[in-house]
Amino acid sequence: MDKMTIYEQCREVPKDAQKPIAAGRLKGRTDINPMWRIKKLTELFGPAGTGWKFDPPVFEEKTGAKGEVVVQCFTNLYVRQDDGEAWSAPIPGVGGSMLIAMESGGLRTDDDAYKKAYTDAQSVACKALGIGANVYWKDDSSKYTPLPDIPAPVCACCGKKIIGIKTKDGKKMTAEQAAERSKAKYGRILCVECAKKQPKEDGGMSHA
């Protein structure tokens, strides 16, 4: 088998297996349907348990800032070729997810965090084989790499770019968060100056 055979067979991800991440810290990046990875592993090596398998996941919780807790997952992927009975060397994967995250309404616990961390660890192990390589490499559009420049939101009134702000309590907000806040309050995206001219008060927004 050519050294690049497996890589070339699994690097392309069909469009229907790609999903843009629409919100949160990873907004604008690309997620890959985990079932597509399972399908691709099965196509390449056979059914789970006989052609490929993962070690039972090992989880570890770590405390972050402001009471947040992240759960990390460690696992190994093994594959077996059709023409041999020996399993491959372990292909390690490390993933993570927020178990307790700080949101606008306070701390929130995610009861799917362990599953997400395990899925993330599996994806990292699969990536070593080249599974989904085009998403992780092309245009740097994966969840793990920077994206090309994304146009900043602009004010619907004066056309100026929205900039980061801070509230009365000193909390900093990104331009995107400020735009969402303005839209929720005024029904459209407004800069600080134009927001102050609206009938409602600006909610304590000021320049960062």
Say what the pTM is: 0.62
Percent helix / strand / coil, the chain, rounded to 5: 30, 25, 45
- Ramachandran angles phi, psi of 118, nearest 5°: -65, -45
Q: How far is CA 164 from CA 28, 191, 192, 196, 204, in A?
A: 18, 10, 10, 16, 14
In angstroms, the CA 176 to CA 28 distance is: 12
Q: What is the mean pLDDT of the chain?
A: 84
Look at residue 163 in the predicted model and tell me its pLDDT: 86
SS (H, E, C) 134-165: HHHHHHHCECCCCCCCCCCCECCCCCCECCCE
Higher pLDDT, 23 or 116: 116
Confidence of residue 142 (pLDDT cuts 50, 70, 90): very low
Q: Which two structure tokens, joined as six digits, stand for 84?
A: 């041999």
Nearest to 156 by CA among 187, 200, 178: 187
DSSP-assigned beta bridge partners for residue 109: 100
- For the chain, domains (ranges, CATH) are 5-140 (3.30.390.80), 165-207 (no CATH)
Q: What is the CA radius of gyration of the chain?
A: 22
pLDDT tens across 48-91, in order? 999 999 999 999 999 988 899 999 999 999 999 866 679 999 99
Q: Is 72 helix (H, G, I), strand (E, B) or coil?
A: strand
Closest by CA to 165, choosing from 154, 156, 173, is: 173
Q: Three-class SS of residue 78?
A: strand
Phi-psi region of 159 (alpha: psi -120 to 50; beta: other; left: phi over 0): left
Task: Point out the least confidently predicted range of 6-20, 68-82, 126-140.
Answer: 126-140
Least confident of 13-17, 41-45, 98-102, 193-197: 193-197
Q: What is the pLDDT of residue 206?
A: 45
How far apart (Å, rounded) are the C-alpha atoms in residues 180 and 138? 29
Q: Are 191 and 181 in contact (CB under 8 A)?
A: no
* Measured distance CA(173)–CA(158) in Å, rounded: 21
